[in-house]
């Protein structure tokens, strides 16, 4: 690590946007969190994120804002037509990586980074080229290695079963990608969101992989909601997209099984997606028409209000690698019932809910029936969930990874090489003058200089 200045970090975050969930929210929160720690952070992201970022920067305290710098890069406008469907997005992202590493070299020549960190997209099988900067390289936390057991896959519609089979095939084929293997082997620090992804990374040649979440939460309710009494229905909630792999069909089947065994349960489903009509038909077929409510999409404040009106969060996703909604439920004092799979299975412990064996609806039903009958235990779990949320901050997620990154920086003597670009070519000052002159740069196309 060079002396005389704070740690200089280049954060590669293709997805980075304030007030968003999923990957864009992860990119933004890590950028803010690193700057809060006093690091000088340069975020390399897409140009279409610029307006939202600059509007949010105005609202940040000056002490935090002065450590944040953004470099915007996109492919030429005509290339955007490739971004159609999942395959198109993946192609666009792969090409973006190739252009972004050239921008990263110019930024490194201007500023001399101590560390480069690939964050988003956070999928283990998609290589990053940022290791080519020649400074300590941090990869992750990444996910994508989670695979549900066949007993659960068989419950999915045909199209989803085929899609899951193709995803598993893509994971195996990724092991043959020399670019990925080089990228992973070059990383001083590799972090996986789940143990399943850690196994894939080790197969690909990663050394010393740690399991660390990439998500956190910084708000908790200050007053617990009134829990339901034993005479009232157990009020369960689901929040998320209505996709086959979210397992909502198994949640509905589990409630039907629990009701048949004497439990009084109501279930609210918040979200939208292609499975809605199928799920409504399933609820009606199982005689749950008056017990299951579909609200459609709700804004964040309304979602938070729904958390406060329920007793339990039911989230039977088959392979989420993160689980932000699980932390949101914790923050509102809701215990969580899920499968012992992926990110939710990582977060849910015996003192915060029930992560059940992935055997199907029967496992979920047993947990629901137990909690419907034991409201004192439900309240203890609610207190445990809230305590967990207070500890599961964004800063805690960042600290878990950067505790391992800092020694990699401090033990390596870095030649900043301000006049050296990719392949050892000299870089004239005018080729990165925008990077030197201001807090933000906008790079459309790069030509050999």
pLDDT in tens, 263-309: 999 999 999 999 999 999 999 999 998 999 999 999 888 998 999 99
What's the pLDDT at 410? 59
Average pLDDT over residues 92-98: 87
DSSP secondary structure code for residue 82 in this structure: G
Average pLDDT over residues 102-128: 94
CA–CA dist 236, 214 (Å, integer): 26
Band of residue 443 on the pLDDT scale cut at 50, 70, 90: very low
Angle formed at CA 293 by CA 287 and CA 299, multiple of 5 degrees: 165
CA–CA dist 309, 227 (Å, integer): 9
Is residue 400 within 8 Å of residue 212, measured between CB atoms?
Answer: yes
Q: Residue 152 has which token pair?
A: 């659960």
Instruction: Return the higher-pLDDT residue of 369 and 94.
Output: 369
What's the pLDDT at 377? 94
Average pLDDT over residues 230-251: 92
Burial of 436-449, coded b for 16+ CB within 10 Å and e otherwise, reads eeeebbebeeeeee
Domains of the chain from N-terminus onward: 8-216+394-443 (3.40.50.2000), 234-391 (3.40.50.2000)
pLDDT in tens, 140-161: 899 999 999 999 999 999 999 9
Asked whether the predicted pLDDT for residue 8 surpasses 90, the reply is yes
Is residue 381 within 8 Å of residue 335, measured between CB atoms?
Answer: yes
Which long-range CB contacts under 8 A does 434-442 form with residues at least 24 apart?
435/71, 435/106, 435/107, 435/110, 435/111, 436/110, 439/68, 439/69, 439/70, 440/50, 440/54, 440/69, 440/70, 440/71, 440/72, 441/70, 441/71, 441/72, 441/107, 442/47, 442/50, 442/72
Beta-carbon contacts of 428 under 8 Å, excluding residues fewer than 6 positions away, are 449
Angle formed at CA 93 by CA 441 and CA 42, multiple of 5 degrees: 30
Asked whether the predicted pLDDT for residue 427 surpasses 50, the reply is no
CA–CA dist 398, 221 (Å, integer): 23
Asked whether the predicted pLDDT for residue 129 surpasses 70, the reply is yes
pLDDT in tens, 205-228: 998 899 999 999 887 664 555 555
Average pLDDT, rounded, for the chain: 86
What percentage of the chain reaches a pLDDT higher than 90? Answer: 70
pTM across the whole model: 0.85
Identify the residue whose tokens are 């159609």: 84
What's the pLDDT at 422? 36
SS3 39: coil
What's the pLDDT at 368? 97
pLDDT in tens, 72-90: 998 877 767 666 656 667 7
Asked whether the predicted pLDDT for residue 338 surpasses 70, the reply is yes
What's the pLDDT at 210? 92
Q: Residue 419 has which token pair?
A: 């006049």
What's the pLDDT at 421? 34
């Amino acid at each position: 690590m060079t002396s005389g200045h704070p740690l200089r970090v280049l954060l590669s975050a293709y997805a980075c946007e304030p007030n968003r969930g999923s990957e864009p929210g992860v990119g933004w929160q890590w950028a803010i969190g690193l700057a809060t720690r006093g690091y000088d952070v340069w975020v390399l992201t897409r140009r279409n994120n610029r307006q939202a970022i600059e509007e949010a920067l105005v609202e940040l305290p000056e002490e935090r804002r002065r450590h944040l710098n953004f470099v915007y890069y996109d492919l030429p406008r005509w290339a955007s037509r490739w971004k159609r469907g999942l395959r198109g997005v993946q192609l666009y992202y792969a090409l973006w990586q190739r252009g972004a590493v050239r921008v990263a070299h110019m930024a490194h020549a201007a500023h001399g980074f101590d560390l480069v960190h690939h964050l988003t997209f956070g999928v283990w099988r998609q290589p990053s080229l940022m290791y080519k900067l020649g400074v300590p390289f941090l990869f992750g936390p990444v996910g994508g290695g989670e695979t549900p057991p066949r007993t659960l896959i068989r419950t999915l519609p045909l199209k989803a079963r085929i899609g899951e089979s193709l995803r598993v095939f893509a994971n195996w084929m990724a092991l043959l990608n020399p670019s990925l293997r080089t990228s992973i082997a070059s990383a001083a620090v590799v972090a996986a969101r789940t143990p399943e992804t850690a196994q894939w990374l080790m197969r690909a040649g990663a050394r010393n992989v740690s399991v660390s979440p990439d998500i956190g939460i910084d708000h908790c309710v200050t007053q617990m909601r009134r829990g339901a009494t034993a005479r009232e229905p157990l009020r369960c909630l689901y929040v998320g997209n209505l996709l086959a792999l979210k397992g909502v069909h198994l949640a509905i089947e589990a409630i039907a099984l629990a009701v048949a065994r004497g439990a009084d349960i109501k279930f609210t489903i918040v979200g939208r997606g292609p499975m809605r009509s199928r799920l409504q038909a399933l609820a009606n077929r199982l005689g749950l028409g008056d017990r299951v409510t579909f609200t459609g999409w709700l804004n964040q404040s309304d979602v938070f209000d729904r958390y406060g009106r329920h007793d339990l969060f039911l989230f039977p996703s088959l392979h989420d690698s993160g689980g932000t909604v699980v932390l949101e439920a914790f923050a509102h004092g809701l215990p969580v019932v899920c499968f012992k799979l992926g990110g939710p299975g990582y977060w849910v412990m015996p003192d915060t809910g029930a992560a059940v064996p992935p055997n199907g609806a029967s496992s979920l039903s047993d947990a629901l029936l137990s909690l419907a009958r034991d409201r004192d235990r439900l309240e203890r779990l609610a207190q445990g969930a809230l305590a967990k949320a207070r500890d599961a901050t964004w800063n805690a997620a960042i600290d878990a990874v950067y505790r391992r990154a800092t020694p990699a920086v401090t033990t390596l003597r870095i030649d900043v090489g301000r006049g050296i670009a990719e392949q050892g070519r000299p870089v004239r000052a005018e080729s990165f003058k925008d990077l030197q002159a201001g807090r933000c740069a906008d790079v459309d196309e790069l030509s050999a200089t």
